[in-house]
């Protein structure tokens, strides 16, 4: 699924990371840890295909198979959850879009507020919608940057369930950076710790 050799990234004179070798098979789970500013987010953007490495070789799946959640939930705040997911469902050419969108809104507890503007939501609710968007097209590779960010206990347990289901149910591959590694430690098949 992901193969990297000597992966490096620089911004001008500043080295973000260098010399990363990685083999992540389909169904694998890469846990990325490290303090703020250590390069986790940049690595995840490179592995999601959103940024280019400055050195090294990298093999990634095609972009329609990638789901990415960054520090922001990546949804339009002046649209409703239904409008957001319908838009992305359209762009991803999802068949039976309405059913898939409805199922995800139910699952993440957003069905009752599906017509309300996202700007009125708490950050945790926005994060749930962001997770719905990521799962909408059933990607093979999921790259999640601090997915537990802003989630309350209920939301975090919901995300735990998503990890369990996909890891043990369907062959999904995960790259997850988190400051709460204890939540997903048991699922990790590969680990990368930034100093």
Partner 1 sequence: MIGGGYAADVGALARKDLLLELRAKETLPSMLLFVIAALTIFHFALPHGTSHAAALGLLWAALIFTALLGLTRAFVAEREQGMFDALVLAPCDRSAIWLGKALAVLAFLVAAEVVALPAFAAFFSGLDGRTVAAVALADVGIATVGTLFGAMAVAGRARELLLPLLFLPMAIPIVVGGVGGYLWFLALYDAIFAVLSWAAFEYVVSET
Binding site for partner 1 (CB under 8 A): 45, 48-52, 62-64, 66-68, 70-72, 74-79, 83, 87-88, 90-93, 117, 133
Q: Please, what is the minimum distance in Å from the beta carbon of residue 87 to partner 1? A: 6
From CA 69, how far away is CA 33, in angstroms rounded?
16
What is the Rg, in whole angstroms, of the alpha carbon atoms belonging to the chain?
17
* Cβ 185 to partner 1 shortest distance, Å: 27
Nearer to partner 1, 133 or 183 (CB): 133
Helices then strands, counting H and E runs in the chain, come out as 5, 8
Which DSSP state fits 52?
-
Rounded Cα gap, residues 151 and 24, in angstroms: 27
Residue 26: alpha-carbon gap to chain centroid: 16
- Min. distance of Cβ 175 from partner 1 in angstroms? 14
Nearest residue (CB) to partner 1, 83 versus 160: 83
Nearest distance, CB of residue 191 and partner 1, angstroms: 25
Measured from the CB of residue 68, what is the shortest distance to partner 1 in angstroms?
Answer: 6
- Given the complex with partner 1, which of 115 and 153 has the nearer CB atom? 115
Whichever of 126 and 178 has its CB closer to partner 1, that residue is: 126
The DSSP result for 62-120, as a single string, is -GGGEEEE-SS--S-TTS-HHHHHHHHHHHTT-TTHHHHHHHHHHHTT-GGGTTS-GGG
Give me the residues paired with residue 24 across strands.
Answer: 2
**83 versus 152: smaller Cβ distance to partner 1:** 83
């Amino acid at each position: 699924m992901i193969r990297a050799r000597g992966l490096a990234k620089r911004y001008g004179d500043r080295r973000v990371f260098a010399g990363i070798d990685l083999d992540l098979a389909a169904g694998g789970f890469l846990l990325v840890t490290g303090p703020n500013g250590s390069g986790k987010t940049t690595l995840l953007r490179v592995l999601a295909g959103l940024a280019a490495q400055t050195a090294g070789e990298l093999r990634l799946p095609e972009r329609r198979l990638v789901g990415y959640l960054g520090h922001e939930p990546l949804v339009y705040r002046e649209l409703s959850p239904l409008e957001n997911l319908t838009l992305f469902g359209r762009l991803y050419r999802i068949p039976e879009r309405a059913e898939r969108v409805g199922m995800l809104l139910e699952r993440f507890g957003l069905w009752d507020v599906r017509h309300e503007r996202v700007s009125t939501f708490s950050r945790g609710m926005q994060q749930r919608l962001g997770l719905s968007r990521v799962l909408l097209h059933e990607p093979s590779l999921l790259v999640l940057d601090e997915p537990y960010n802003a989630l309350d206990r209920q939301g975090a347990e919901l995300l735990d369930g998503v990890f369990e289901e996909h890891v043990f149910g369907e062959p999904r591959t995960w790259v997850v950076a988190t400051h709460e590694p204890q939540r997903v430690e048991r699922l990790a098949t590969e680990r990368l710790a930034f100093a």
